[in-house]
Amino acid sequence: MRSELVSDGGLDAQVREAEELVSNMRFEAGSLSPQERKTALAKVRRYQEEIASLREALKRNRGARAQLGLTGNLARDTSAAQRDRLLSSTAKLEKTGQRLTESRQLLAGMEEQGAAILQNLHSQPITGVGYLIEGDLAQTPQVLGEAVL
């Protein structure tokens, strides 16, 4: 029922109904005494002004909704907005998941390379260690270079 009240057709129908009521009030005011008629017609004018301002507000709201691309159905608009947010969140989640997978693959590759480098270093004989300790420190880079090769 609420969506009927909020939809354009429901609002238009309510405004038309209010206009009919005011018109009936004006007609009935004609059968009152002059003093009562004056008071009743003043109220009728106020009601007509309120209805006119409501019509203007309705027109402004329709224009704003059209600019935002909203339809007249509040439930559909809300559902569409929720769907858009859900799709956006799902896309972000998928992208994050892909980055995590890529990071894990990179980490596994780096771990394999590190293990291979360590294995290579352990398998090479280290020569000249005594020379490093006893010899000239200026020749240390040269000796280490030979050990790595």
**Per-residue pLDDT tens over the stretch 99-114:** 999 999 999 999 999 8
Q: Is 20 a member of any domain? A: yes
Kindly tell me if the per-residue pLDDT of 83 is higher than 80.
Answer: yes
Q: Is 50 a member of any domain? A: yes
Half-sphere exposure of 40 (CA within 13 A, CB side): 16
Q: Work out the percent of the chain whose per-residue pLDDT is above 90.
A: 15
Contacts with 147 (C-beta within 8 Å, 6 or more apart), sequence order: 124, 126, 127, 128
Kindly tell me if the per-residue pLDDT of 73 is higher than 80.
Answer: no
Q: Is 90 a member of any domain? A: no
Contacts with 58 (C-beta within 8 Å, 6 or more apart), sequence order: 11, 12, 15
What's the pLDDT tens digit per position in 108-146? 999 999 888 888 887 876 655 554 445 555 566 666 666
When pLDDT is averaged across residues 83-88 and rounded to a whole number, the result is 87
Report how many domains make up the chain.
1
DSSP state of 128: -
Q: Which of residues 80 and 33 earns the better pLDDT score? A: 33
Q: Is 138 a member of any domain? A: no
Q: Is 7 a member of any domain? A: yes
Domain holding 53, by residue range, is 2-72
Q: Is 107 a member of any domain? A: no
Q: Is 110 a member of any domain? A: no
Q: Is 52 a member of any domain? A: yes
Map residue 32 onto helix, strand or coil. Answer: coil
Q: What is the pTM of this model?
A: 0.41
